[in-house]
Amino acid sequence: MVSLDHVALPLDLVRGASLRFLSRSPLLTRVLGRRDTRIAALGAAQVLLLFALTLRFPVALFFLGPVLLGVVHLAADVRYLALRMAPPRPLVVASVVLAVGLTAVRAAVGLGEVSTILGARLDMAVGITWVGLALVLRLQRSRRALVLGAPLFGAVAALVLTHAQLGDVLLTHLHNVLALVLWLTLFRRRPGWTALPVALVVLGSGVLLSGAFLPWTAQQGGLGAFGVAVSRLGAGLAPGAAPHVAAAVVMVFVFLQSVHYAVWTAWIPQDCLVGEGTPTFRMTARSLLADFGPWALAAVAGLTLVFAALACWHFRQTVIWYLTLVRAHAWFEVAIFTFFVGRPRVPRVRSRTL
């Protein structure tokens, strides 16, 4: 605790000076002093910045996003969905087991021990099991709902397994949007100013998907980075699509992936605050320690450093393996959403911190 306070102290000094400067403006004071307007302003600024970066450096951003925020956003995923939302213990235990199994499958595919087709089918099978368990736990007190819903769930499961590779691609894209859905349904107290960043996300996605700026991005050299061309990414994110369509899909994916990171690392943490104000860095550090405990928090910090070191050693391959191995957290988010959506649920908060 003492060491964390010492690390956070210089940051708090900068924070205090910045807030004193910004508070000279009555408008900024009103915007930053309330959670709703603060999240709207922060979200809008982040979305506009990420849109601009995606237009200019889409392939570079595809790789840099996971390196800079990949581990941090996974920790936030666990923190707010598993620790703060506190799902039932059977779902948590099953999630750990299924996540390990799915990660093993993805590793086998990456090593060439399992074919891509079989890997996609196994991925869908594990994911369907995960979501099915969440649904059973949610409806366990309503036998009628279980009996009526079982045939429908079975039909959907059969359809997904039949088109496993397509489902694999769709989940890759929809997972980025799911962060916004989770924020709006499980953490956002009221719509209000939320409409501003969400509208910008929708508008930005539409502009990128139209491909209107593709010639400009190509002229600026943004359709390639780290020895990878956008066509290579498009082959995985939009298989079978025309080159210009695949490039546009890649740009939308990169934009929404970046928004996904912003939601988990900024928007949801702000919405989990008890008061209207923002915490100091020392308060945030203490809250992280309270949520994770010293050993888990040290593991997160160590994993972040190891990932950064591996990226320095072999940047492109490290990101590819990261994207291969973290697939389980997408299904975890779907399962938690399935269990909690539509329920009046207030996330458990340990203190007046992030």
Quick: pLDDT tens for 162-201.
888 888 899 999 999 999 999 998 888 777 778 889 999 9
Is the per-residue pLDDT at 248 higher than 90? yes
- The pLDDT score that the predictor gives to residue 332 is 94
- The pLDDT score that the predictor gives to residue 347 is 53
Q: What is the mean pLDDT of residues 293-315?
A: 86
Q: What is the mean pLDDT of residues 217-236?
A: 90
Confidence of residue 354 (pLDDT cuts 50, 70, 90): very low
Confidence of residue 52 (pLDDT cuts 50, 70, 90): very high
Question: Poorest-confidence range of 29-38, 122-131, 299-308?
Answer: 29-38
- Look at 188 and 101; give whichever has higher pLDDT: 101
- Look at 110 and 131; give whichever has higher pLDDT: 131
Question: Poorest-confidence range of 23-27, 148-152, 198-202, 223-227?
Answer: 23-27
CA distances from 353 to 18, 31, 181 (A): 19, 20, 23
Confidence of residue 255 (pLDDT cuts 50, 70, 90): very high
**What CA–CA distance (Å, rounded) separates 138 from 54?**
39
Confidence of residue 116 (pLDDT cuts 50, 70, 90): confident
- The pLDDT score that the predictor gives to residue 119 is 87
- The pLDDT score that the predictor gives to residue 209 is 94
pTM here is 0.90
Q: Which of 255, 336, 277, 262 is nearest to 80 (CA)?
A: 336
Q: How many CB atoms lie within 10 A of CB 279?
A: 21
**What CA–CA distance (Å, rounded) separates 179 from 264?**
7
Estimate to the nearest angstrom the gap between the alpha carbon of 312 and the chain centroid.
23
Confidence of residue 353 (pLDDT cuts 50, 70, 90): very low
- The pLDDT score that the predictor gives to residue 352 is 41
- Look at 143 and 42; give whichever has higher pLDDT: 42
Confidence of residue 351 (pLDDT cuts 50, 70, 90): very low
Mean pLDDT estimate for the chain: 86
Q: What is the mean pLDDT of residues 208-223?
A: 92
pLDDT in tens, 259-285: 999 999 999 988 887 777 777 777 777
Q: Which of 347, 350, 272, 349 is nearest to 35 (CA)?
A: 272
Are 41 and 192 in contact by the 8 Å Cβ rule? The answer is no
Is the per-residue pLDDT at 343 higher than 80? no
Q: What is the mean pLDDT of residues 226-240?
A: 90
Are 237 and 169 in contact by the 8 Å Cβ rule? The answer is yes
- The pLDDT score that the predictor gives to residue 325 is 83
Confidence of residue 312 (pLDDT cuts 50, 70, 90): confident
Please, what's the largest Cα pairwise distance for the chain?
Answer: 62
Confidence of residue 15 (pLDDT cuts 50, 70, 90): confident
- The most confident of 62-76, 243-257, 272-286, by mean pLDDT: 243-257
Q: What is the CA radius of gyration of the chain?
A: 21
Domain boundaries, the chain: 1-33, 34-340
